Amino acid sequence: MLVSSVNSSVADSQTSADTSIAENPDQVRVVFTPSGKRGAFAAGTSVLQAARTLGVDLDSVCGGRGICGRCQCIQSVGDFPKFELKSAPDHLSERNQTETRYASKRPLKDDRRLGCQSKLLGDCVIDIPEDSQVHRQIVRKRAEARAIEIDPIVTLHYLEVAEPDMHHPSGDLERVEAALHTQWGVAKLARVDLPVMQALQKALRGGDWKITAAIRDGDALVAVWPGFHDKAYGAAVDIGSTTMSLHLTDLHTGAVVASVGAMNPQIRFGEDLMSRVSYVMMNPGGDKDMTQAVRETLGYLLTQAGLEAEVDTADILELVLVGNPIMHHLMLGIDPTELGWAPFALATNQAVRIRAAELDLVGKTNIGARAYFLPCVAGHVGADAAAVVLSEGPQFRDEMTLVVDVGTNAEIIYGNKQRLLACSSPTGPALEGAQITSGQRAAPGAIERVRIDAQSLEPRFSIIGSDLWSDEPGFDAAAGKTGVTGICGSGIIEVLAEMFLAGLITEDGVIDGAMAARTDRIVPDGRTHAYILHRGEPEIRVTQADVRAIQLAKAALYAGAQLLVDKMGAPPERVVLAGAFGSHIDAKYAMILGLVPDCALENVVSVGNAAGTGARIALLNKQARDEIRELVARIEKIETAVEPRFQEHFVGAMAIPHKTAPFPKLRAAVRLPEPRPAEAQTASDQPARARRRRRRG
């Protein structure tokens, strides 16, 4: 299966970028998620010590005495084919007296351990929760400003209800129905929630026969309050593979009152989607574990948004959720195994409406709140892609528009108002900085912008949390709070593109060891070479394995997009980069690396979290739900796994920007290096080849 093979290739390259795991029977292996860093250690090594040795971001301020509790971690149990190990419960030492003593005084969940006290006894996968990280991730899925026609599916109605009358006996609900009809023109109610009937009589009498009723879709009574109540909120939720974001929105005004985000806790079961499906296949009940984890995080986000905006969660009446098909299924508690192989069958591709309580959100929303899932487009093109279409509207444009929701699994829409095509492409987590040698999530201290002087080959960079560049006065002081900690996705894109422009990387993606004659930043790294981006603690370098990981990821993205262009028979006139990561990619550098087919740079735009914006549109305008349902049925789905030209495009796209595509529009705007002879391209490998020849002689 091609999708699996591409994912496997990406994973193989990423694995080679990590710390080597020795094949030593006296050592045990450990993989830390979400960073993907791994190594081998003597049995009995503490998790904290292993994390520090590998440069894993695990907090601790008490020197490993089990006092501060900041080094909490979670062992992920099961078979992990991607990591080629099994993490069994007895591979980690049992809780000791120090942990028991700590748990008696402060919260320590049953699945959590103190990293300083837990010992590695066998192969383990260890997850570092966000609250245990020193440099916590910045979730960049903020709500985008957008004019949306406000017509929510849930509306509030203030009622003056007739009191009971011995001469005209009727139930309280019947008199509420009469008031709705006479005062608001609402026809007979089709549905009344049981919690409403249970609360109705107290609300009527507590409000002196005046109540506020929440009506959903014109005929369902879902909530009541005594007296006048004018607060009604909804939540637009984007369930990303890597991050989850939630925008708490006023249903009257459309204003976003709070935006919160968190890392998707399912990362500990697998960085990419197919790894998570594999985990379910290898570990019976694994889907339930992932469902529980993602639902708990959704509840946490609802609570956090309510606290931030000072909103009573009982006033949250509607949720709209979007995500790729695997996230969609796991949130709904559906086993995603069928999405792991052809024909990638969805349990349903239709819109889904359920009670929010069915997502284990009791107490996190109003008891009558509903959760609405937008329809999925195809087996690996999900509700998030439908939301992107709703947000960006390629179906209304004359020009050919390529919309790419960049993430661990890229979802691609191409076309115009005449015709739309869709596919997905398994890019893996490398584009987001995961499993890159010095890679990390977007957090304060992460390098996000890079420039390299073409003459001196010296770099300068900026980090998240500071507006200054590294060569500007005051940078060291500004970076003092966080340090320079690693490189995130936008940074790795820019440094590779800049290295290519400066001649440090060849067209075929080889770090040219011959350039060591011009700069001491090119250094030997085994049989290949690396480029030192930052000297200090930690040293941040770009390795040959990092370059390969990005090549594989960007080639998969390009191949999927070009496949749609082939099917359409017309080149893109406009490119839209969506998603939390896509919104921070500089269009020029995306084109230099060849992430997408050639397009005029001025027509390549970043739009931020378009999936979240589409979810807000569906939250605030009920007609939009009907529109996207009809449109999704008309989108033509292309399955890359069975398309023979996908592999051809993939191979060509491994080069920078491409092996055969001329990219004339890019060349008109950027002076690209000319391809070098084969001898120069492989100069960094010559010593190794010579050694092999001598051995054969």
User: 491 pLDDT exceeds 80?
Assistant: yes
DSSP class of residue 676 equals: P
Q: How confident is the model at residue 686 (pLDDT cuts 50, 70, 90)?
A: very low
Residues 261-272, mean pLDDT to the nearest whole number: 82
Contact 408, 425 (CB under 8 A): no
Beta pairing, strands 210-216 & 486-487: unpaired
pLDDT of residue 495: 95
User: 359 pLDDT exceeds 60?
Assistant: yes
For residue 588, give the amino acid letter. Answer: K
Which carries the bigger pLDDT value, residue 490 or residue 120?
A: 120
How many CB atoms neighbour CB 637 within 10 A?
A: 16
pLDDT of residue 60: 76
pLDDT of residue 143: 53
The pLDDT tens digits of the residues spanning 79-134 come to 988 788 999 999 999 999 999 888 887 778 888 999 999 999 999 999 988 778 76
Percent of the chain with pLDDT over 90: 61
Residues 299-319, mean pLDDT to the nearest whole number: 95
Q: Which has the closest alpha carbon to 314: 436, 400, 208, 203?
A: 203
User: 202 pLDDT exceeds 70?
Assistant: yes
Enumerate domains of the chain plus CATH numbers. 2-132 (3.10.20.30), 154-226 (3.10.20.880), 233-373 (3.30.420.480), 393-697 (no CATH)
pLDDT of residue 364: 96
478/549 Cα distance (integer angstroms): 32
The pLDDT tens digits of the residues spanning 637-680 come to 988 878 889 999 999 999 999 999 999 999 999 999 887 654 44
Q: Reduced to 3 DSSP states, what percent helix, strand and coil does the chain have, rounded to the nearest 5?
A: 40, 25, 40
Residues 238-253, mean pLDDT to the nearest whole number: 90
pLDDT of residue 676: 66
The encoded tokens of residue 287 equal: 């889907």
pLDDT of residue 265: 86
For residue 626, give the amino acid letter. Answer: D
DSSP class of residue 93 equals: P
122/482 Cα distance (integer angstroms): 34
For residue 348, give the amino acid letter. Answer: T
112/106 Cα distance (integer angstroms): 12
Q: How confident is the model at residue 410 (pLDDT cuts 50, 70, 90)?
A: confident
Residues 191-219, mean pLDDT to the nearest whole number: 93
Looking up tokens 């292993």, which residue turns up?
A: 50
pLDDT of residue 145: 53
Residues 521-541, mean pLDDT to the nearest whole number: 93
Q: How confident is the model at residue 3 (pLDDT cuts 50, 70, 90)?
A: very low
pLDDT of residue 7: 41
pLDDT of residue 299: 96
User: 18 pLDDT exceeds 60?
Assistant: no
467/427 Cα distance (integer angstroms): 30
Q: How confident is the model at residue 688 (pLDDT cuts 50, 70, 90)?
A: very low
pLDDT of residue 434: 64
Q: What is the mean pLDDT of the chain?
A: 86
User: 547 pLDDT exceeds 50?
Assistant: yes
Which carries the bigger pLDDT value, residue 458 or residue 81?
A: 458
pLDDT of residue 583: 61
What pTM was computed for the model? Answer: 0.78
Q: How crowded is the C-beta side of 223, counted as CA atoms within 13 Å?
A: 23
Q: Do you know the residue count of the chain?
A: 697
Residues 524-540, mean pLDDT to the nearest whole number: 92
Beta pairing, strands 72-76 & 112-114: antiparallel
pLDDT of residue 691: 36
- 462, β-bridge pairs: 449, 469
541/525 Cα distance (integer angstroms): 10
